[in-house]
């Protein structure tokens, strides 16, 4: 007999819980929690019962062992987690099926993250390598990652979605083929391209080139990635205006977007449609040196101003002078001016902001 069980192989799983007195346990599990009896024996003096409910099978029987901890997610449970203790000692936690998203309060901080200072990439989901660009997470409100896939080819990903408020994916190097729910056939993203992944849109990373690098920015920092094993992508539907949690999918193609003057700064700017797609929540632009070496930026009033050097070098002037090289990143708190000095001719800067002031 094989030691491995093939995915999808027909079978059932039971959670075994010790139970010395069956009658009061049945009254609790069936009468109060809504399980139903599937099997019970022996008939003349029952001591073992198999119950089903809430997508779960329980086996109550005499014996030793831990009484365990069950967590039941209920559609009609609107309050926070509630803890009960069954007659057999099992702790039962009742919680909402879909918990409210936790958006932590912002803790502003000036941050400079240099690639040369480490730490290096750590392995994350689907074999992707992650480097943290906002180590303090601004109180848990934001996360920014430099993600790499050194060895290209098919990616061991699955159809999934994220419970997020905001999520940007920007390609720095290489290419990646992806597919999104109701956005047509799979497509390839190249350097300078980016997408807005609106809340709960199903998607999948299919394959990549060698040396793929992307920048990902999300809110909140700690968010769930949830598999959807039933949905097949592509869906065969093209619905670019579909609403996902108040946002719509956005795909920015760098090769098709003109560079325009960034005011009178001497820098050039490439805009995206992020502001419109997020309903004014976020803005994303790319700046590059148009021959100028200094860029002065007035203080912002929003909750986030995050930047990462995609190429080139410069000095960041804010609370001193900070040398920046390719793949270095920084965060500027609200109410503080800053500038770039001695920008190299090849400088390219990704700028991500959530421009509205926080009302908390």
The full set of domain ranges for the chain reads 15-96, 111-354
Which residue did the predictor score with more confidence, 7 or 285?
285
Select from 10, 8, 22, 93 the least CA-distant residue to 59. 22
pLDDT above 60: residue 360: no
308 vs 7 pLDDT, higher one: 308
Over the chain, what is the mean pLDDT? 93
pLDDT of residue 115 exceeding 90: no
Please give the Cα distance from 42 to 96 (Å, whole number): 37
Average pLDDT score over residue span 271-299: 96
User: Predicted confidence band at 1 (pLDDT cuts at 50, 70, 90)?
Assistant: very low
- Model confidence, pTM: 0.86
Q: Summarize the confidence of residues 91-119 as an average pLDDT.
A: 88
* Residue 3: pLDDT band with limits 50, 70, 90: low
Count of residues for the chain? Answer: 360
May I ask the CATH architecture of the domain 15-96? Roll (3.10)
| Separation between Cα atoms, residue 324 and residue 314, nearest integer Å | 5
pLDDT at 181 over 80: yes
**Residue 4 scores a pLDDT above 80:** no
**CATH class entry, domain 111-354:** mainly beta
146, 215 Cβ separation under 8 angstroms: yes
- Per-residue pLDDT for 2 more than 60? no
Three-class secondary structure of residue 257 per DSSP:
coil
Is residue 118 predicted with pLDDT exceeding 60?
A: no
- Interval 134-161 mean pLDDT: 94
Q: Name every residue whose Cβ is closer than 8 Å to that of residue 72 and which is 6 or more positions away in sequence.
A: 33, 54, 92, 93, 94, 95
Q: What is the DSSP string of 268-299?
A: EEEE-SHHHHTTTS-EEEEEEESS---EEEPP
Strand partners, 330: 112, 307
**What are phi and psi for residue 230, nearest 5 degrees?**
-95, -30
Task: Provide mean pLDDT across the span 128-137.
Answer: 91
């Amino acid at each position: 007999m094989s030691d491995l069980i093939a995915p999808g192989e027909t079978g059932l799983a039971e959670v075994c819980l010790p139970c010395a007195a069956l009658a009061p346990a049945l009254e609790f599990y069936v009468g109060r929690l809504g399980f139903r009896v599937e099997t019970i024996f022996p008939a003349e003096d029952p001591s073992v019962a198999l119950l089903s409910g809430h997508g779960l099978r329980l086996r109550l029987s005499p014996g030793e062992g831990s009484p365990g901890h069950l967590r039941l997610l209920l559609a009609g449970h609107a309050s926070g987690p509630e803890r009960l203790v069954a007659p057999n000692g099992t702790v039962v936690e009742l919680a909402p099926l879909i918990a409210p998203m936790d958006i932590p309060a912002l803790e502003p901080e000036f941050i400079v993250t240099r690639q040369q200072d480490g730490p290096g990439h750590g392995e994350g989901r689907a074999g992707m390598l992650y480097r943290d660009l906002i180590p303090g997470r601004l109180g848990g409100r934001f996360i920014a990652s430099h993600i790499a896939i050194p060895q290209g080819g098919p990616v061991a990903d699955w159809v999934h979605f994220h419970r997020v408020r905001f999520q940007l994916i920007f390609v720095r190097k290489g290419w990646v083929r992806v597919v999104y729910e109701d956005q047509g056939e799979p497509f390839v993203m190249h350097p300078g391209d980016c997408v807005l992944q609106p809340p709960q849109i199903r998607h999948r990373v299919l394959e990549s080139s060698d040396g793929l690098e992307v920048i990902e920015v999300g809110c909140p920092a700690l968010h769930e990635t949830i598999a959807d094993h039933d949905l097949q992508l592509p869906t065969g539907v093209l619905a670019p205006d579909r609403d996902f949690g108040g946002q719509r999918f956005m795909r920015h193609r760098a090769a098709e977007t003109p560079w325009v003057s960034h005011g009178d700064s001497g820098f050039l700017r490439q805009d995206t449609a992020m502001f419109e797609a997020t309903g004014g929540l976020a803005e994303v632009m790319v700046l590059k040196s148009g021959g100028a070496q200094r860029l002065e930026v007035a203080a912002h009033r929003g909750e986030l101003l995050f930047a990462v050097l995609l190429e080139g070098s410069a000095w960041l002037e804010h609370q001193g002078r900070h040398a920046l090289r390719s793949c270095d990143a920084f965060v500027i708190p609200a109410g503080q001016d800053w500038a770039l000095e001695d920008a190299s001719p090849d400088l390219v800067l990704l700028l991500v902001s959530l421009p509205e002031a926080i009302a908390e």
